[in-house]
Amino acid sequence: MANNRKAFLGVGGKPKFSQPDQQRHIDSVSKNIAILTGQTKNTKDRAVLVRDLMEFGLLDARGRFTGGGGTTIVGGGSNGGGIVNPNPEAPTKPINVRASAAFTTIMVQWDFPNYAGHKHAEIWRNTIDAIGDMTDPREEGEAALVATVAGSMYMDNVLPETGYYYWVRFVNDDGLAGPVHSPSGVYVETLPDINAVIEDFQAESLATLEGFQESFTSQIDAMNQIMEDFNFAEKTTLINSHGEEIEALATGLFEQVVVTENNYENWAVQLYSLQSSFLDEEDNLSSALINKMAQVLTGTNGIIAGEIATYNVQYGGNTYTLAEGIKVSVDINGEYTKQWGVQTDLGNLQHGVGFVDNNGKTTFMVSTDNFAVFNPVNGEWEAIFGVRDGRVVITDAVIGSAILETLAVQFSAVFENEVLVNGELTAWKLKGAQITGNALWMVNGNHSLAVHPDDYLALWYGEAVYYNVETDTDERSLGNAKFALTNDGKVIARGLELYDYDNNLLMDVNGLNGAYIKNLTVDTLKIRNNAVTVKSYSETDPVNVAKGGSAVMWSASHYHDGEVVKGNLLVDVVIEAVRTTGGSPDDQITFTVEVYESSFYQNVLASKTVTTGWPENGGISFFTPVTIFIPELAEESIRVKVTGVSAGEAHTISMSTVVQSAKR
């Protein structure tokens, strides 16, 4: 076990009091201190220091229990020691809890808390918006605890097209849990798998295409057969007296007319109409109707050429219509319009396709539930582009410039040059990144690291309660830093360990035991308290010794630091005495020189006694030298006590002390 005396500083010699109760009090205090520091035979009641726990392996060099738990006992402070972790506070309610989903991952985020003693956050999850009582055993339908996270982000791995509700609450170092962010969970659902979407789109589009081709081909074959069987011939009629009926018939998909037809000088129209109907046994009418009109108009106000056709079927009380129109027109100013289109419902424009060219500005429009573009490769039809359920599907694309509101990438994204983010960039992991900027902040639990160069600090590490970007807290200082680097190159740390490549300890500075250096080579060495082969000097004021009386003199403390490395001590004392009364054989004075350890002045390390004095030396100073050598001394410091005892006459005495502390 460690020698506790090296952990305590000297408090000076034990004073003498004239009052008995005062003396008993100081004697009791000195005795209790001696017991606590293990300087008596009663070693069972000595105090246990953090150093002792470290030497027994119960604490590591940072003051944490080696058996787990992560509690810090002691550490750095503004004075190099003291409590680092503040007393844990009650956890606060999480704020700004949000969730975002990709394809197989869900990221849950929250603002990092700003209370002392934060340990971690709990993340609870459920498929329904019900959290339950959050105690074990869990009942069916209650939320389950899925993770504890020291930071402010959690990544959940789930299946595509899966939705969950999430709740977050904080837990402090004492294990106390705070409230959840809200009784209602944050809901988020992952996106469908891209490959599955593309495969479904391609299969459905191919089936639609094959059905369309089969139906279209059969209709053409049927029309050709009917025309061949019935020797069908068109009839052409010039009509100028049915303008109102023709205009009404032409109104459908396209209603854009440059000027009214009545202003045209020449008007030629071709009409075509077919209708077939029948009544079933319940007198339900079913019919099919085709109306088609082609017209050409010319005049001083403009020119129009167009054609429109409607195809109508009535069955079971429902009407199904398809219309097609073509028009080309030029007005009196030479501005032209070209358009073509097909739609399924007249006047409603719910589904169809159209093409419009206004003086060279062309627009192509499609209104449809699903849309597909096919690429026939080696005789196989592959849908490569289309729209399905309101979502554009592209199997492969080359895009020069894109403006996106939300971008979700399932597997990987490769950027050749830079990526600009004007807001906040949130990422679960960054690998192989070169990060440039004016500040960097990282947090893990209650540990905060700030790389934020300014006029004083370049790097700061400490408790997150002192530096938290999310809560706009910046109370960085050297006093609350566990580690800091100033902008002029100074390093502030609470301890230091250096090892060689074989893991041999070369240097250990932990703020408790001082510093240990295995081997040291220097050009010029300056050591505090003169610890290595140097002389230290002290002297006393004159003290009067009455006739037949005695007096005591104490030197100052002389440091030796022998508790770190034992060394030899050479004490040289020179005592000056002046006899102040008449001479006689009783003019002699005896000096006893004692060397004490300077912590409590109870242990005499060495002593010598000398007697001096002559009848003829009254009023004259005479000097008595005393030398004491103490080998392999393990004390931190010593003090010298000189007691002068007069044989009969009065004297005035003083002393000078020189101590040489030698360690190799």
- Give me the residues paired with residue 483 across strands: 461, 493
pLDDT of residue 74 exceeding 90: no
Inter-residue contact 436 to 131 (CB < 8 Å): no
Give, in degrees to the nearest 5, the angle at Cα 447 between 445 and 451: 130
pLDDT of residue 460 exceeding 80: yes
Inter-residue contact 189 to 153 (CB < 8 Å): no
Q: Please provide the CATH number assigned to the domain covering 534-662.
A: 2.60.120.660
657 pLDDT tier (thresholds 50, 70, 90): very high
> Among 376-380, 396-400, 420-424, 471-475, where is mean pLDDT lowest?
420-424
3-state secondary structure of 278: strand
Distances (CA, A) of 592 to 579, 620, 643: 18, 21, 5
Distance separating alpha carbons of residues 462 and 72, to the nearest angstrom: 13
Distance separating alpha carbons of residues 333 and 442, to the nearest angstrom: 69
Inter-residue contact 124 to 143 (CB < 8 Å): yes
How much of the chain exceeds pLDDT 70, in percent?
A: 74
Q: Please, which contacts does 26-34 make with residues 24 or more away whose CB atoms are closer than 8 Å? A: 30/600, 30/602, 33/600, 34/600, 34/602
110 pLDDT tier (thresholds 50, 70, 90): very high
The single-letter code of the amino acid at 252 is G
Which one has a higher pLDDT value, 282 or 3? 282
Distance separating alpha carbons of residues 293 and 248, to the nearest angstrom: 11
pLDDT of residue 438 exceeding 80: no
Phi, psi of 166 (to 5 degrees): -125, 145
Distance separating alpha carbons of residues 74 and 87, to the nearest angstrom: 13
Instruction: Read off the DSSP letter of residue 230.
Output: H
Give, in degrees to the nearest 5, the angle at Cα 291 between 286 and 297: 165
Distance separating alpha carbons of residues 68 and 20, to the nearest angstrom: 52
Q: What pLDDT is stored for residue 466 in this prediction?
A: 82
CB atoms within 10 A of CB 397: 9
For range 519-547, the mean pLDDT: 76
Q: Where are the beta strands (DSSP E) in 430-510?
A: 440-444, 447-451, 457-463, 467-468, 473-474, 481-486, 491-493, 496-499, 505-509
Inter-residue contact 638 to 598 (CB < 8 Å): yes
The single-letter code of the amino acid at 643 is T
For range 332-340, the mean pLDDT: 84
Distances (CA, A) of 279 to 78, 284, 287, 319, 320: 102, 5, 9, 16, 18
Q: What pLDDT is stored for residue 512 in this prediction?
A: 57
Distance separating alpha carbons of residues 434 and 455, to the nearest angstrom: 24
2 pLDDT tier (thresholds 50, 70, 90): very low
Inter-residue contact 543 to 653 (CB < 8 Å): yes
Query: In what helix (H) or strand (E) does residue 517 lie, and over which residues does it extend?
Result: strand 515-517
Q: What pLDDT is stored for residue 632 in this prediction?
A: 83
What's the predicted TM-score (pTM) here? Answer: 0.46
Query: In what helix (H) or strand (E) does residue 231 lie, and over which residues does it extend?
Result: none
Per the omega criterion (within 30 degrees of 0), is the bond before 192 cis? Answer: no
Q: What pLDDT is stored for residue 83 in this prediction?
A: 37
HEC profile of 33-59: HHHHCCCCCCHHHCCCCHHHHHHCCCE
Inter-residue contact 450 to 439 (CB < 8 Å): yes
Distance separating alpha carbons of residues 521 and 293, to the nearest angstrom: 109
The rounded mean pLDDT for the chain is 77
Q: What pLDDT is stored for residue 495 in this prediction?
A: 81
The single-letter code of the amino acid at 47 is A
Q: What pLDDT is stored for residue 61 in this prediction?
A: 58
Q: What pLDDT is stored for residue 233 in this prediction?
A: 44
308 pLDDT tier (thresholds 50, 70, 90): confident
Q: Tokens 């830093």: give the residue.
A: 481
pLDDT of residue 554 exceeding 50: yes
Query: In whole angstroms, what separates CA 79 from the centre of its chain?
Result: 29
Which one has a higher pLDDT value, 650 or 42? 650
Cα–Cα nearest to 112, from 91, 83, 85: 91
pLDDT of residue 46 exceeding 90: no
The winner for highest mean pLDDT among 158-172, 485-499, 613-627 is 158-172
For range 418-429, the mean pLDDT: 73
Superfamily for the 98-191 domain: Immunoglobulins (2.60.40.10)
Strands 457-463 and 447-451: antiparallel
DSSP string, 512-536: SS-EEES----SS---TT--SSEEE
41 pLDDT tier (thresholds 50, 70, 90): low
656 pLDDT tier (thresholds 50, 70, 90): very high
380 pLDDT tier (thresholds 50, 70, 90): confident
Q: What is the CA radius of gyration of the chain?
A: 51
> Among 162-166, 244-248, 391-395, 576-580, where is mean pLDDT lowest?
244-248
The winner for highest mean pLDDT among 301-305, 622-626, 640-644, 658-662 is 640-644
The single-letter code of the amino acid at 176 is L
Inter-residue contact 193 to 103 (CB < 8 Å): yes
Residue 533: both structure tokens together: 């082969």
Inter-residue contact 566 to 634 (CB < 8 Å): yes
Which one has a higher pLDDT value, 612 or 177? 177
Query: In what helix (H) or strand (E) does residue 446 lie, and over which residues does it extend?
Result: none
Can you state the percent helix, strand and coil of the chain, rounding each to 5?
15, 40, 45
For range 215-236, the mean pLDDT: 57
